[in-house]
Structure 1
Amino acid sequence: MSKGLKISRRVIMTVLFLAALYVTWTTLSQVPVSEILGSDYDHPDDIHAAPSLREELGVSAMKAAPHAEAASASVAETVSALEEEINWSQYPVETVTATGYTANAESTGKAPGDPAYGITYSGIPVHRDVYSTIAADPDFFPLGTVLFIPGYGYGVVADTGAAIQGSKIDLYFDTIDEVYDEWGKRDVEIYIVKKGSGEISEEELISLNDQRVLVY
């Protein structure tokens, strides 16, 4: 066998080996090709592809940023600790239907650049933390009402919505991925920590989050 033929066979065998190794890796790891290459990877259930689901969840198509994911993890850890450490039976309980929303146009009708973008009915900016801004029916939960929602954290009623009537609440999230991964839509028992006076200020919300845990 000539030297050139031997080299050709070795090259072919190497290529076949690498191809087999690649197929095995992607099959076992379930990592998409686009992710391996470092390109953008759309959520398989991207909300743009499912308008009925978008309407059902009441959320917009905003993708998650690394810092948002880190902040979300921190909030989740605190909420989990609160659920275990506080005796929630001391508070009145209400069963509600809770959905999630973001500040984007598909949830609020407003886009970045709009002076009212990200501003709640109460006038304070939307905010996600241990104490987050949420929307509710003010006849059911007046502005300033503090609720504890298991799996979400404290919700401070600062916003309203035409579809949020009676025993419905809308929970603010920074991104659409958080709505998908952390909430969606569910019926949940919530705890009424403090009944609101009908108003809430940004300073009050900041103060609540500075304290992190406040039991009335």
Structure 2
Amino acid sequence: MTYHFAAIIEQFSTPPVAIGHSFGGLIAQKLLGENKVAAAVAIDPAPIKGVKPLPFAQLRSAFPVLGNPLNRGRAKALTPKQFRYGFGNALSEAESESLWEQWSIPSPGKPLFEAATANFTPNSPAEVNTANAGRGPLLITAGTADHTVPHVSAKAAYKQYAKSAAVTNFHTFDGAGHSLTMDHRWREVADVTLSWLNANGFAAQH
């Protein structure tokens, strides 16, 4: 999937900024590490290779997919109850149900299996060039109530960049779950992202 986005980006006259949530955040980091984009924002990103913390909440959130090896080759949908635990746990039951009805679709299981086995797989698709000192700036965010990508997992990804001299920042959204890009707090996420981009020389064009 990263190669697909990279091929599209190569058609641009200037490198864009990549902003991604969950697995989109992992892809954004890969693109940045390969100098395909000018900057990246990884919002509660799926774990990259090298991230070791594996909290119970993260295991429980992923179990509907990882619990059946056959899901590696097919798409899997979450039930309202599973969605509420993995995404809408910081919301009211009504808001979580509404988001499930509007946004929940079957998703491929393969990326989740690849991320789960990344630390034991040579040339894993979840491997990111975290040591690249010549890349653009990176912002990683985490929600303190996130079950799918717990705060400790996102923080561990941030620490993987310690050897790089490039700009790497971390932002915490207190009380936010994994649904933060589509629930009632989405404007807060957008404002933080835009402010960070402006501070790093990527002013929005109107």
Q: Under TM normalisation by the shorter chain, which class is it?
A: under 0.3
TM-score by length of 1: 0.24
TM-score by length of 2: 0.25
Larger strand percent: 1
Q: Which one has the largest radius of gyration? A: 1
